[in-house]
Structure 1
Amino acid sequence: MQDVEGYVHSVETGGSVDGPGLRYIVFVSGCPLRCLYCHNPDTMKMKRGKKTSAFEILKDVASYRTYFNTGGGGLTVSGGEPLAQPEFLKTLLLGAKKMGVHTAVDTSGYLGTKVDDELMDLIDLFLLDIKSWVPSTYKHVTGVELEPTLAFAKRLAELKKEVWVRFVLVPGLTDATENVEGVAKFVASLGNVTRVDVLPFHKMGENKWQDLGMKYQLSTTESPTPEATEAARDMFRKYGLNVH
């Protein structure tokens, strides 16, 4: 296995929401999406990240193996968009699998065609972000088309890869009943989604947009009420999904 360098935004140890157990999370830089509510806009441009050796990260991951073995954790690669750096991602995951470490990748699925068979086999769990079911809403929220994400989700279903789906509930953008139900029906049809996280919109990254000189378009949007969030979760439950 040869070392590969990639652009990394940051690393978090002890993460508890990006996969099962305690996770070592690598946030890579570079993303083709321009999500209106992105809380890490500084990851959008790849070269804003620090050029980092995959072997350097894997050496650090190795020091946490005891925690992974006792707590059922592992390595999660997030971003940014991990699939924007497929060779770097492949090296990280191959190294992790050689150590017997569980692997997860957090992705929009938009670059799913970059996942070849070798890379696919190295990923134990996909954390798939589905922003909307309505194509026009998806394009407005992300700046890209919806279809590549749906196609990738279907491919994962055909391969019976385990998937957790994430859906962000944004008042006035993604909270329409037909949109929430559309996502729920699609996700339920796949048969390989073991968990759905309905995440209420927040503005924790707004200051980062300002620091980068970028306009934050959701400055007047409020977080959904607890009741609205629970209603969205109930919609997913209605279709038999395991919701968090």
Structure 2
Amino acid sequence: MKSLKLYIPETWDKMKEKQFERIAFLFNTSETNTLFYIKLFFLLTGVKWWQFSRKAKLRIVLRNYPLSDLQKNYEFIFKENNRTVFPKSIKFKKKKFFPPQNNIADLSADEFAVADDLHIKWRKTKNIEFLYYLAAVLYTVSKERPVFNKNNLHQYAIPFSKLPVCKLLAIELAYFGCKNNLVKRFSEAFKENKTRSNKKQYGFSKVILSMAKGDLSKLESIKKVNIYSFLEQFEEDLKSAKK
């Protein structure tokens, strides 16, 4: 057999978009057996369904090397999802929707609070409607994100119900990666939120409300604050309160 060059992405962000979508779909199947890991190997090597010769060679590789050894080349996928890149712009007939910036750098505090609530509900229930709404929060009709109004979310979500499931799952998995990055950067803020949530079931919407300190006139402006600026301030407040 001639030598076979394998091109396996080194990080979540180096995956190609279609590759990432198929892996997101695979991660949401019920398979957890050897077949799952074999499918993952084929997806990560980027082999196409029509590349019969290449697939045959990969099967020879699998027969000659334990999966545990092969997985050392892509251990990152089992450690932590830190994806920062979303699927590119989405078109519905004449309408085009744009993703958030990498690492959700341009989301407002209110957008993050709603997106996170939908993400958590999807993880708990696996109700696909939550993915329609999550995509509707994250994707906007212009690159410059308009002011977010969650009262219109049902209307915004209608087009996203037509998206392939694998793309919806990729959007959610990309969001989860961005959230993981935020949790690492603002550990105190998320630790505090988790502690509060264990006592009463509420998320960042209540944190936003608490930041207004009862002054509802400030609430709308706080909602529009960039999520990074919001979390930096929230973390500072928590640290000051502990002193």
Quickly name the TM-score band, shorter chain normalised.
under 0.3
TM-score (norm 2): 0.21
Q: Which has the higher strand share?
A: 1
The higher-RCO structure (CA 8 Å, 6+ apart) is 2
Bigger helix fraction = 2
TM-score by length of 1: 0.21
